[in-house]
Amino acid sequence: MKSRVLVAALLVLSCLAFAVLMGEPSVVGFTSRLIDGENPPHAVDTSGKTIPPSSASQPDKPIILSKDSNDPKWGECKPEAAFDHNKHNTDPKHAQDGKNLNACVYCHHTDQPSASGGEPYLKRFERKEILTAAQLESSKEPVKGCRNCHFQEATEETNEFPPKGVVYPKETGKPPSGKLTNDNAYHTKCISCHEISKKRDPALKGPTGCGDCHVKKG
């Protein structure tokens, strides 16, 4: 009888160990790495729905951007730090000047006919009109997701398009890694906007430090 109980316990432990190794969310909780069949996995929203590579509709739930990045030290976001696309797109309070809504192309910078500043690292501009909420609604032309150009940190760089790593020119003074991964892309856009907004209104709580959003590992 004791041997049967021991065997059963070992089987249960083996299954749990395998689930944790595979990142099974029901075992390791909300902040676990969700696997969606892609490598690297896509970001997901707070309901666990995968964010598609491109879409002609705006996300209806906050997005857990850290599910699409690969930082071994600060890889997971706190639940309350999910990116609320709707809030940033419809509430002037969360805009840089507090008056005009954030432009779609602040983040979706290739969804316009050309590079406004001639930036050499902005590689493709296929949209005939600048992306706005109204333009998206009328055109039904999908907006590319971040991973079309920005991939995880471990991915090798290439000159092909879509690139596996986008390199900033040295003169821009951008992140020292030199590779514009999705991790760096999110931080460059998010933190820059939050710093500008908080100078305007110190009462705003836009995160600017690692611990504001992330759960430190180890």
pLDDT at 55: 92
When comparing pLDDT for 74 and 12, which is higher? 74
Phi-psi sector, 197: left (phi>0), alpha (psi -120 to 50), beta = alpha
User: What are the beta bridge partners of residue 63?
Assistant: 45, 83
pLDDT at 28: 30
pLDDT at 137: 92
The per-residue pLDDT for range 89-148, each reduced to its tens digit, is 888 888 888 899 889 988 998 898 887 666 666 767 888 999 999 999 999 999 988 877
When comparing pLDDT for 143 and 215, which is higher? 143
The per-residue pLDDT for range 19-44, each reduced to its tens digit, is 333 333 332 333 334 446 666 677 88
The tokens describing 189, both together, are: 């856009």
pLDDT at 175: 60
Say whether pLDDT at 8 is over 70.
Answer: no
Q: Of 88, 67, 42, nearest to 207 (Cα)? A: 88
pLDDT at 155: 66
The per-residue pLDDT for range 187-200, each reduced to its tens digit, is 888 998 999 999 99
Report the Cα 178 to chain-centroid distance in Å.
Answer: 18
Q: Of 19, 23, 71, nearest to 11 (Cα)? A: 19
Direct distance between the N- and C-terminal alpha carbons of the chain, in angstroms, rounded to an integer: 40
Q: pTM for the complete prediction?
A: 0.73
DSSP state of 186: H
Q: Of 204, 206, 208, 171, nearest to 187 (Cα)? A: 208
d(CA 112, CA 167): 20
Helix, coil or strand: residue 190 = helix
When comparing pLDDT for 183 and 170, which is higher? 183
The per-residue pLDDT for range 133-175, each reduced to its tens digit, is 999 999 999 998 887 778 766 667 766 666 667 776 676 666 6
pLDDT at 104: 92
pLDDT band at 182 (very low <50, low <70, confident <90, very high): confident
* Mean pLDDT for all residues in the chain: 75
The pLDDT > 70 percentage for the chain reads: 64
